[in-house]
Amino acid sequence: MRQYKISVVALIVGLVAASAQAETVQGARSELDRLAAHVRTHPTDYEQTYAYIRLATELHDEAAIGALERLLMYNPSLGRARKELGFLYARIGAYQSAAFNLRAALKSADLDAAQKAQIEAQLPDIERQTRASRFSGSLQIGVRTQSNAAYLPSSGLYDVGGVQTFGGVTGRQSDANTFEQAQIAHDYDFQNQRGDVLETRGLAYATQQFALSQYNVALFSLSVGPRFGLSEIAPGLSVRPHVSGSASLVGNLNYLNTGGAGVGFRQMIGDRLSLEPGFEWSRLWVNSGSGPGSSAQTVATIASGDVFTGSLGVSLRIFDHVRLEGRGAYSRAAAYVAAQASDQFDLQAMLRFEVDPPLFEMPRRWTFAPYARFRQIAFDIANPALDPSHMRRDDAWTYGLALDAPITAQLGVSGHLEFLRNDSNISSFKMHNVSLTFGPTAKF
């Protein structure tokens, strides 16, 4: 019942926010019309022109590009106008024009050091978009602390054949670990009229526990597939068939391997909203003889078999520096062992706030992102190794706050604070955990 109450509250809050946003946008549009009339009759009034450009940019009105072009016709040496025009062109995907104007702005004498640093930080990313082969990535190392690193029952109680018993452990065990995470992305642009691109994405992650080394984790995953433009069917529509695979280790032993394929669509609606429905099939192989809690008859949540997932992702730019991202998914785990077959529902949302950094010398905005996730797993039949009279059902709630703070164009720090609570009708899986992750990052 609690998740339904939260949904109702979220719906009411969303309606109130939408109403307030509509009133704000209506007022901003009236002000934009007033400024537009002024700059048409006073083309050399730079301050009013820049005010018009700022407001048009916030409203994602491409008329700002025309205003800047007119301003540069009267005075081609205006570095600030060149800078704003370059970033506007980048926003709409005209990367050649964006790079040209930003390079010209760097040569201007009327830009201060902070404005030039902002251009120098983003120009490499924009120039990369003009190439056929584009490679980017990120690396983070850091430390993570957890109040329940072993994910043990908070009460210390276990279900064994339907009888609750103390498992001979003290319950929650806190620990800390170091970690390394690397993400890579490569796009090969076929440079045709449709904008077709071959997309490759990779991830590597590893942890080293200070005390509980049996819970060391390593994960490697890769996804490859072309993205085809379908603008002839609908403007802003694309499709990406792909293949994917992953391998993971727990306690330095191979635990889970996957391989699969899927297809995803992306529909851009203006430059504020995108929808991404998709479907994916994965074959899972779990080494039941390794990993925490392994036994002759496994009782783990993940099991060998096939997983079929349908999902819908949503990204909405509410304001110029505020974005809402969400995803809903349903998965069917057709495990080889009947007691491990399950249905899973997954809902998650994140609200990204971009803010100016505390120092003008820092060229990129910082991001604060509160997020929440609800995941429900319902198993088909009771597992006699756990409780022969109850079919297991877990409701997991996750709440967190993420921070990404660039210091230079390539270096920064990031981290997140997270609370996880898993409610289950089987005592072996009732638990909660608080974790804090923090470390330096590098982007290239």
Q: Which of 35-44, 74-83, 244-253, 285-294 has the lowest mean pLDDT?
A: 285-294
Can you give the pLDDT at residue 440?
98
Between 87 and 368, the more confident residue is: 368
For 167-250, strand residue ranges (E) read 175-189, 197-209, 217-229, 237-250
Q: Which of 28-42, 215-229, 411-425 has the lowest mean pLDDT?
A: 28-42
Neighbours of 400 (CB within 10 A): 17
* pLDDT band for position 155 (cuts 50, 70, 90): low
Can you give the pLDDT at residue 278?
98
DSSP state of 129: T
- In this prediction, residues 412-440 reach a mean pLDDT of 95
**Sole residue written with tokens 């391997």:** 257
Q: Which of 2-6, 243-247, 388-392 has the highest mean pLDDT?
A: 243-247
Say whether pLDDT at 308 is over 50: yes
Say whether pLDDT at 390 is over 70: yes
Q: Which of 1-10, 18-27, 158-167, 301-310 has the lowest mean pLDDT?
A: 1-10
Q: How many separate helices (H) and strands (E) can be counted in the chain?
A: 6, 16
- In this prediction, residues 264-292 reach a mean pLDDT of 88
- Interval 110-140: pLDDT, tens: 888 888 888 988 898 888 888 889 999 999 9
Task: Work out the burial of residue 168: count CB atoms within 10 Å of its CB; fewer than 13 is exposed, 13-18 middle, 19 or more buried.
Answer: exposed
According to DSSP, the residues that pair with 259 across neighbouring strands are 245, 283
Between 92 and 96, the more confident residue is: 96
Structural fold of domain 2-128: 1.25.40
For 304-365, strand residue ranges (E) read 305-319, 322-335, 342-355
> Cβ(394)–Cβ(422) under 8 Å?
yes
Length of the chain in residues, anyone? 444
Q: What are residue 64's phi and psi, to 5 degrees?
A: -60, -30
Q: What is the mean pLDDT of the chain?
A: 86
> Cβ(431)–Cβ(153) under 8 Å?
yes
Can you give the pLDDT at residue 289?
65
For residue 86, give every residue at least 6 positions away whose Cβ sits within 8 Å of its Cβ, in sequence order, or none: 97, 98, 99, 100, 101, 102, 105, 119, 126
Domain spans, the chain:
2-128, 133-443
Neighbours of 286 (CB within 10 A): 23
Neighbours of 342 (CB within 10 A): 25
**Sole residue written with tokens 């198993």:** 379
Neighbours of 414 (CB within 10 A): 19
3 state DSSP class of 111: coil
Q: What is the dihedral of CA 393, 394, 395, 400, to 10 degrees?
A: -170
CA–CA gap between residue 77 and residue 69 (Å, rounded):
12
CATH superfamily of 133-443: monomeric porin ompg (2.40.160.40)
> Cβ(441)–Cβ(413) under 8 Å?
yes
pTM listed for this prediction: 0.79
Q: What is the CA radius of gyration of the chain?
A: 26
Between 259 and 122, the more confident residue is: 259
CA–CA gap between residue 183 and residue 179 (Å, rounded):
14
Can you give the pLDDT at residue 182?
98
Is residue 23 within a helix (H) or strand (E), and if so which, with residue range?
Answer: helix 2-41
Neighbours of 120 (CB within 10 A): 14
Can you give the pLDDT at residue 58?
64
- In this prediction, residues 194-206 reach a mean pLDDT of 96
* Buried b / exposed e along 4-17 (16+ C-beta atoms within 10 A): eeeeeeeeeeeeee
Which of 181, 96, 103, 97 lies closest to 143, judged by CA? 181
- In this prediction, residues 392-405 reach a mean pLDDT of 97
- In this prediction, residues 169-181 reach a mean pLDDT of 84
Can you give the pLDDT at residue 282?
98
Which of 234, 322, 336 lies closest to 285, judged by CA? 336
* pLDDT band for position 159 (cuts 50, 70, 90): low
Between 112 and 419, the more confident residue is: 419
- Interval 322-339: pLDDT, tens: 999 999 999 999 999 889
Which of 287, 340, 333 lies closest to 306, judged by CA? 333
For residue 341, give every residue at least 6 positions away whose Cβ sits within 8 Å of its Cβ, in sequence order, or none: 303, 305, 333, 334, 335, 379, 380, 381
